[in-house]
Chain A
Amino acid sequence: MYLARYLLILFLFLISRNLNAQINSSAPSLLNQKSVQLNVGTQGIGAEFAYGILPELSLRGGFNFIPFKANDVFKVSGFNSTSNLSADFYNVHELADYVPIKKATWFRLVGGFGYFFKAKGDLRIIPSDDYKYGDLVLTDDQIGYVDLNVNWKGIAPYLGVAFAHTFPQNRFNVNFDLGTYYLSKPKADITGTGLLEGNSSQTPQFQSNIKDYRSLPIVQVNFSYKL
């Protein structure tokens, strides 16, 4: 616990020093600069290659993926159940970083597109009690389960801001992204098995509930190495 706390403090110190140094420095032209960076954040982990195409504009392309699994994060009221949640988001993206204020080159506007070749969330709800039907105790197969599936696969525009320079002034820096992908309209469905087979009738309601879930917020730390 103490080790984790010390590591966190050291990490924050390094980041703040790095950011401070970059903020205080004069702005170099981005033109023809190159870097590679590894990142970690709300869209998982990934890597990017960045290249300056104008003095105040650079492009970066890369990929990110986040396979996520969790149990019992979702409860249905009045219905004792366990749940298995899995989310898979895999994207390739192309972003443009623009420095809008010459005196604040540490600040960038970021826009672009990602193609999510996999972007889905699956939730399986399984009754957890020994459910009785009258005097009959039902087996797991007889009861069945309910699957809720959502798929956002497709092209998604990205808009955000970034802090600290894209290209390290020395060899290495840490910079940050804050923004959101606007995902394609989700396709949602519910399927069931056993006694819960009829839950597919709830698909239109689920689709309606989920239709506005199109924002994928991005909070991301980039570890950049200048080439």
Chain B
Amino acid sequence: MFTIKKLQMGLIMLTLAACTKPTENIKIVVDTDVIKYTALINVTDGENGNPAPANATITLSGAAAQDIYELSGNKEIKLSSGIVTIGLRPTIAPTADQPINVNVEINAPGYNKEARQVIFKAENKQQVVNIQLTKIGSTTPPIVTPPPPVYNNVALTFTGRCPNRTDLEIRPSVYVYFKKSGSNAAFQYLGYMDKGKISTNLLEQNGTYEFQIVYGAETYRVTQKIDQTNYNLTIDMPAACNF
């Protein structure tokens, strides 16, 4: 009987060994690259390079305007920190023969109206359109921001966090801006982050930087000191958590 008891105990122990739930701590990872052809519109005050005033508005017109959505899939297009990313409805795409055009008009009280044509081309899925506003009556030429200095490559991996959905994780595809932490300078364009990943040579070792993304008419920022060549950064993105 002693042998039987020992066997029973052995069998129970073997079965109980598998007690962790298979899906424990596993998150659902969702990409945001629904809209494939995008254009970042960056509106600044031409006098100082700061973001466009908060009451600046953007209006789209042209035949393709009905097919334009904000990066988060919303039809409403609004600037946040002077920035908005617009893109084509995912069911349409430009061809080599037929690019898709849309007219963008920026209005802000006290500033001259600015208009641009944004052209979505088949060979160019991402583009940045810089628009500088000039004050009405001002004769000061718009400032020219020098290109940022170049350093060694640094790889950044961003993960979007959902504050109210711990079971969700976002892999953002979005344009990234940056500036040195504590600096009064305006944010500068860093690059396009594809599925959470971006590699850049614009970050200095031992420098501390603020990174900024605009998504769903919200501005999100995260700060990181750079003293390695690879970083995993987590950034709150509640606007991307309505999946």
Contacts and interface: CB of A to CB of B under 8 A. Distances in A.
B29 A192 contact: yes
Contact of B28 (A136, A138, A142, A199): A199
A220 B89 CA distance: 57
A135 B34 contact: no
A161 interface: yes
Contact of A198 (B7, B26, B70, B171): B171
Interface in B13-63: 14-15, 17-34
Interface in A185-227: 190, 192, 194-199, 201-202, 205-206, 208-210, 212-215, 217
Nearest to B20: A209
B89 A79 contact: no
A201 B69 contact: no
Contacts of A131: 243
A179 interface: yes
A133 B243 contact: yes
A67 interface: no
A202 B27 contact: yes
Contacts of A197: 31, 195
Interface string A78-122: 110000000000000000000010000001010000000000000
A136 to B, nearest CB: 4
Interface string B1-16: 0011001001100110
Main DSSP-derived SS at the B contact region: loop
Interface string A137-162: 01000100010100000000001110
A77 B29 CA distance: 14
A135 B29 contact: no
A136 B89 contact: yes
B34 A159 contact: no
A169 to B, nearest CB: 23
The size class of the interface chain B forms with chain A is: 35 or more
The size class of the interface chain A forms with chain B is: 35 or more
Contacts of B31: 194-198
Contacts of B242: 132
Interface string B64-90: 000001101111000000000000011
B29 A209 contact: no
Contacts of A135: 69, 73-75
A76 interface: yes
B167 interface: yes
B75 A78 contact: no
B18 A202 contact: no
Given A77-B167, A78-B167, A134-B216, A205 B25 contact: yes
B24 A209 contact: yes
A182 interface: yes
B116 interface: no
A198 B11 CA distance: 39
A212 B11 contact: no
A206 B168 CA distance: 16
Nearest to A110: B7
A202 B159 CA distance: 13
A64 interface: no
A197 to B, nearest CB: 6
A76 B28 contact: yes
A134 B22 contact: no
Contacts of A182: 14
26 contacts: A76-B23, A133-B73, A134-B70, A134-B72, A134-B73, A134-B75, A135-B74, A136-B73, A138-B34, A142-B90, A146-B28, A159-B10, A160-B11, A161-B4, A180-B11, A197-B195, A198-B195, A201-B29, A205-B26, A206-B26, A209-B20, A209-B21, A210-B20, A214-B17, A214-B18, A215-B18
Given A79-B28, A136-B89, A199-B28, 20 more contacts: A100-B3, A109-B3, A133-B34, A133-B72, A134-B73, A135-B75, A136-B34, A148-B22, A160-B7, A179-B11, A190-B26, A195-B32, A198-B30, A202-B26, A205-B25, A206-B22, A206-B23, A206-B26, A209-B26, A212-B18
Q: Closest 3 A-B residue pairs measured CB to CB?
A: A134-B73, A198-B29, A133-B73
